[in-house]
């Protein structure tokens, strides 16, 4: 696998994205999706009378929010090779074999495992800090890497 990655990076003249850029892109995407959730549920949020009601409301939509995250990640990665946060940080996701945008199945796999990493206390993201190619769990399962645009 290392030989494949090294060949791709050299052949396409690609530079791995830094963990800081990936973290900033993650933050932008999370803020954007959270903001969209608040807009979609504005009437319910405004009807909450206490912090406990607000927390219960957010908790009641966790599965729907995870589904939206998977769809958002899968669509943008398959279509553009980057989410809006990644575009803002000038990084993109590429398939290890082709160097192109991942196909829809690979992008869906990546989106699902990204949410799984979040469920397990972001351990899949933490993995990227120690990996030679900065691959997180969702990168490894989808056979992708994140590079500078």
pLDDT level of residue 89 (50, 70, 90 thresholds): very high
The tally of domains found in the chain comes to 1
From CA 34, how far away is CA 69, in angstroms rounded? 10
pLDDT in tens, 21-33: 999 999 999 999 9
Per-residue pLDDT band for 12 (boundaries 50, 70, 90) equals very high
**Rg of the chain in Å (alpha carbons):** 17
% of the chain with per-residue pLDDT over 90: 89
Of 44, 16, 37, nearest to 128 by C-alpha is 16
pLDDT value at position 45? Answer: 87
Domain limits at 48?
Answer: 2-148
Nearest partner of 7 among 81, 78, 94, judged by Cα: 94
What integer pLDDT is reported at residue 110 of this predicted model? 98
- Alpha carbon distance 62, 149 (integer Å): 32
Tell whether the model's pLDDT for residue 1 goes beyond 80. Answer: no
Write the CA distances from 123 to 107, 119, 129, integer angstroms. 20, 9, 10
């Amino acid at each position: 696998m290392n030989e494949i990655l090294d060949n791709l990076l050299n052949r396409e003249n690609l530079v791995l994205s830094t963990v800081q850029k990936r973290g900033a892109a993650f933050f932008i995407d999370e803020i954007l999706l959270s903001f969209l959730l608040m807009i979609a549920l504005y009437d319910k949020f405004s009807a909450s009378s206490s912090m406990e009601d607000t927390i219960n409301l957010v908790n009641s939509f966790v599965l729907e929010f995870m589904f939206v995250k998977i769809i958002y990640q899968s669509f943008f990665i398959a279509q553009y090779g980057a989410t809006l946060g990644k575009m803002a940080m000038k990084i993109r996701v590429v398939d290890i074999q082709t160097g192109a945008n991942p196909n829809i199945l690979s992008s869906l796999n990546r989106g699902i495992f990204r949410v799984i990493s979040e469920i397990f206390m972001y351990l899949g993201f933490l993995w990227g800090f120690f990996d030679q190619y900065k691959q997180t769990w969702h990168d490894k399962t989808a056979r992708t890497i994140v590079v500078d645009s």
